[in-house]
C-alpha cells in the first residue's frame, strides 16, 4: 500500500515541544519508525509536514491523483477548526485516519473536538507515536 503520512503545525518540533505531553522522540525519529514499519510490511510511505494549512490541503488533493491508497493525518491544532482540511479530505477518494499523539479528549476544552475527524474513517488519540502505526493497520484492513 502507498501511504501519505501528513503532519500539521508544530509536529516538526517533536522532542522539543512539551515533551511531557508529546514525548522525547523527534520528528525524524517518528519518520524512521514509520518507514521501518511500512517497509517491513511491504508498504510505501511519503512524509509531509507543514505549518501551513494550504500546503496540507494541496498535498491531500494531490494524494487523490497520485495513487495514494491511505492517508495518516495529524492535523495538529488545525483539527479543531479547519473545515478546509475537512473538505479536502472529503473531496478525495482516499481513506484517512486521524492521529493525535496526546489524548485530546482529556485536554483543554477547545482541543477536545476535532472537526477534521468526521472526514476520516477513524481517529486515534492518546496512543503516542504508536498511533501512526495503528492508523496504517486500520487503513490496510479498510482497503480489503
Among 22, 27, 78, 132, the active-site one is 22
Determine the distance from the C-alpha atom of residue 64 to the mean position of all C-alpha atoms in its chain, rounded to a whole number. 16
Cα three-residue angle 42-45-46, rounded to 5 degrees: 160
Q: Taken in order 99, 76, 11, 56, is the CA torsion positive or negative?
A: positive
User: Is 22 considered catalytic here?
Assistant: yes
What is the Cα–Cα distance from 26 to 6, expressed in whole angstroms? 15
Among 27, 78, 86, 100, the active-site one is 100
Helix (H, G, I), strand (E, B) or coil at 98: strand
User: Is 24 considered catalytic here?
Assistant: no
Catalytic residues: 22, 100
Amino acid at each position: 500500500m502507498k501511504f501519505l503520512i501528513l503532519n500539521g503545525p508544530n509536529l516538526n518540533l517533536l522532542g522539543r515541544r512539551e515533551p511531557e505531553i508529546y514525548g522525547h522522540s523527534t520528528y525524524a525519529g517518528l519518520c524512521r519508525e514509520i518507514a521501518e514499519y511500512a517497509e517491513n510490511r511491504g508498504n510505501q510511505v511519503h512524509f509531509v509536514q507543514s505549518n501551513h494549512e494550504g500546503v496540507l490541503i494541496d498535498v491531500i488533493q494531490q494524494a487523490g491523483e497520485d495513487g495514494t491508497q491511505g492517508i495518516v493525518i495529524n492535523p495538529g491544532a488545525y483539527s479543531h477548526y479547519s473545515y478546509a482540511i475537512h473538505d479536502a479530505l472529503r473531496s478525495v477518494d482516499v481513506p484517512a485516519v486521524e492521529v493525535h499523539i496526546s489524548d485530546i479528549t482529556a485536554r483543554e476544552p477547545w482541543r477536545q473536538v476535532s472537526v477534521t475527524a468526521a472526514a476520516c474513517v477513524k481517529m486515534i488519540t492518546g496512543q503516542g507515536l504508536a498511533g501512526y502505526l495503528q492508523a496504517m493497520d486500520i487503513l490496510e484492513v479498510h482497503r480489503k
